[in-house]
Each structure stands twice: as structure tokens, then as C-alpha cells.
Amino acid sequence: MIIVLRPKITRREETAVVREIRKLGYTPHIMRGVARTVIGAIGDERTHASLEPLASWPQVESVTPIQKRFKLVSRDAHPTNSTVTARGVVIGGRKVQIMAGPCSVESEEQLMRTAVAVKKAGATILRGGAFKPRTSPYEFQGLGEKGLKLLAKARRETGLPIITELLSENHADLVAEYADILQIGARNAQNFQLLIAAAKTGKPVLLKRGLSMKIEEWLLAGEYILANNNAGLLFCERGIRTFETYTRNTLDLSVIPIVKQESHVPVVIDPSQGTGKASLVTAMCRGAIAMGADALLIEVHPNPSEAWSDGAQQVTLEGFQTLMDDLRPFIQAAGRE
Ligand code: PEP
Ligand code: MN
């Protein structure tokens, strides 16, 4: 912590601050400038009482932390990129992984057709929501456990690992029994008890960015997973809420280099929720790959116009095949497989 003292304070006021810093277990380093004095307090802010209350002392101008608030997520804690493995599929390595499938699991026929088609086109992980976080309670809420069973069946038939959303702590064991990766949705990205429950299942956790979440808040939410002894964290950008209404959300691709600088955790981009428009998905995928994304999460439906959720943003089975063919040279140009 850096504690800046106000100008023209007495030596006795300064000594009181120094004494308090020592009392709380930190070592003070006093730097006297022409106009004011600055004290560096050395010590681990995680294991010592906070120095922040000093900010309310009349002789103190400011108290500023120098350590990052996220520790395990930080690149300082793990200088090389980390990888997350789900049923043998490695996310964060040379290979760009493609997670694809319907927004919601609707029926056996819909899921199986999609699973077979996305696998054929080159997807490596199957997505599908069984518990859906819908804005209105009158919209389709997902098939629940029946949807999970269908996902497990699709996995048996295609060999693709599955990612599906965990919506509630109450379902943590149930969803973890079926899923290879748990998705924490944008609306739950700061539901800390849910994050802890997800971490404790031991399954990899894909953490979406909340609709109005700052990057530091997102990194700190990810810290909950790593701090609960689960190294399988993935960050997924899915667009944030801005003043723009042309798109459903504003897909913030700048997080790719930022999260890569700050953290070792793999980055996944979801251009489907990110734009809300199927016609924009290809361009955003190209951009994401060029910027260093480790995986893409893409919504695919056999008949988007009849989808039970997110119809406008889902690509068709043929559209997905075309998309995958389109992306290959971009993946190569980015030095990935
Ligand atoms: C989804 O992936 O279908 C979904 C609901 O995502 P998000 O939480 O990003 O809105
Ligand atoms: Mn969706």
C-alpha cells in the first residue's frame, strides 16, 4: 500500500500513522518529499489487516493498493498460459477449440442432428442449454434433467465432450454428473456462492462475462474458481451492454489481449450472444481468432427460425459448415491449428 500524507502535518501526526502501519504488521518505508511525505507499507495484504481505514485519518490524503486484487488468476502467479482439459480436449493450447450446438436442447431429434453435423464440420465440443436463464418467466426455461440426458446421449454418439449451463447451486451435483464443462452464464457471473459450488464440483468452469461487468470484476469472479481449488477456469466474453442497439450486445474483443496480459487463463469468445445476429458471427469469429482467442462458442440450430430461444443468432447446420471452412485459413494465419 502507498499512503500519501497531507502537506503541513506535524511530526506527531506522521508518527501516529507509522505506528499504526507497524501495529497492523506492515513495514513502513518513509519517503519525504519537498511538499509531502509518502509511506510505502510492505506486507501481504491478504494475510494482514487492511490499511484502507487509514484513508479516513485527517492527516492521510490517500491509501492506494499496489498489489493486484486477483492473485491466482494473475499472470504473475503462472507466467505461462494455462490449459484446461475436458475429456481429452485441450483448451488453451495450439489448437483453437470450437464449441458448437444449439442455444437450448429442445428435442432428441434437434440435438442429435446438430451434434452430428457440428462434429462433421470440425467442432470439438458440443454446447446446449438444459437449464436456461430466461429474462421472462413465460419463456422456455429448458428441459432440465431430460436435456442433460439428451446431451449425454449425443456425447455417446459423437464422442464430443459437452458444455452446459449451471444455473443454480441446487443443481451443481446434477449438472456436474453429466457435463464435461460447466457454463456460468452472464446473469450469474457474480453469483459468488454459485461460483464456489461450481468450483467444488471439480469440473472445468467456463465463466461468461456479466452484462455490465468491468474486466477487473470478471477476473475477480474467476479468482473464486481458482481459490476454491479448481484450476479448470475459462473466461468467455459474450458481449456487454452499451448504448448501442444495432446489436444485441457489444462484443468486446479488446478483452482478448487484455486478459492475456493480465492472466494465464484461456479466453473463449461467444459471437452468438455477442452480436445477436447470425449474419455477424463469421466476421466476429475471424476477428477473435486474429486476436488470440483460444476457443469459440457458437450457437447452431437445424432450423433457427423455429428455435425455442435465440433464433436470430443461431447459424444453420450448412451455415456452420461454411463458417468452419471460412475460418481454417484464419486459424492457420494466427499460427494455430
Ligand atoms: C447461452 O449461452 O445460451 C446463454 C444464455 O449465454 P449468456 O449467459 O452469455 O447470455
Ligand atoms: Mn443462447
Phi, psi dihedrals of residue 234, rounded to the nearest 5°: -130, 135
Task: Check whether 109 has a pLDDT greater than 90.
Answer: yes
pLDDT band, very low/low/confident/very high, at 44 (cuts 50, 70, 90): confident
What's the gap in Å between 185 CA and the centre of ligand 1? Answer: 5
Residue nearest to atom 10 of ligand 1 (CA): 186
Are both 96 and 56 inside the same structural domain? no
What's the gap in Å between 117 CA and the centre of ligand 1? Answer: 22
Q: Is residue 222 part of a domain?
A: yes
Segment 106-116 mean pLDDT: 98
177-210 confidence digits (pLDDT tens): 999 999 999 999 999 999 999 999 999 999 999 9
What are the CB-based long-range contacts (under 8 Å, 24+) for 242-249? 247/274, 247/275, 247/276, 247/277, 247/280, 248/273, 248/274, 248/275, 248/276, 248/277, 248/312, 248/313, 249/211, 249/273, 249/274, 249/275, 249/276
Q: Is the CB of 100 under 6 A from ligand 1?
A: no
Q: Is the CB of 208 under 6 A from ligand 1?
A: yes
CA-CA distance, 105 to 101, in Å (whole number)?
9
Of residues 140 and 64, more confidently modeled: 140
Q: Is residue 24 part of a domain?
A: yes
Are both 180 and 317 inside the same structural domain? yes
Instruction: Name the domain count of the chain.
Output: 2
Are both 115 and 248 inside the same structural domain? yes
Q: Is residue 74 part of a domain?
A: no
Q: Is the CB of 133 under 6 A from ligand 1?
A: yes
Task: Check whether 49 has a pLDDT greater than 90.
Answer: no
Are both 237 and 326 inside the same structural domain? yes
Q: Is residue 204 part of a domain?
A: yes
Q: Is residue 50 part of a domain?
A: yes
Listed residues 10, 34, 64: the one ending a domain: 64
Of residues 124 and 33, more confidently modeled: 124
What's the gap in Å between 170 CA and the centre of ligand 2? Answer: 22
Q: Which domain holds residue 7?
A: 2-64
pLDDT band, very low/low/confident/very high, at 48 (cuts 50, 70, 90): confident
What pLDDT does 133 receive?
97
CATH code of 216's domain: 3.20.20.70
Are both 170 and 270 inside the same structural domain? yes
CATH code of 48's domain: 3.30.70.1140
Are both 181 and 115 inside the same structural domain? yes
Q: Is residue 270 part of a domain?
A: yes
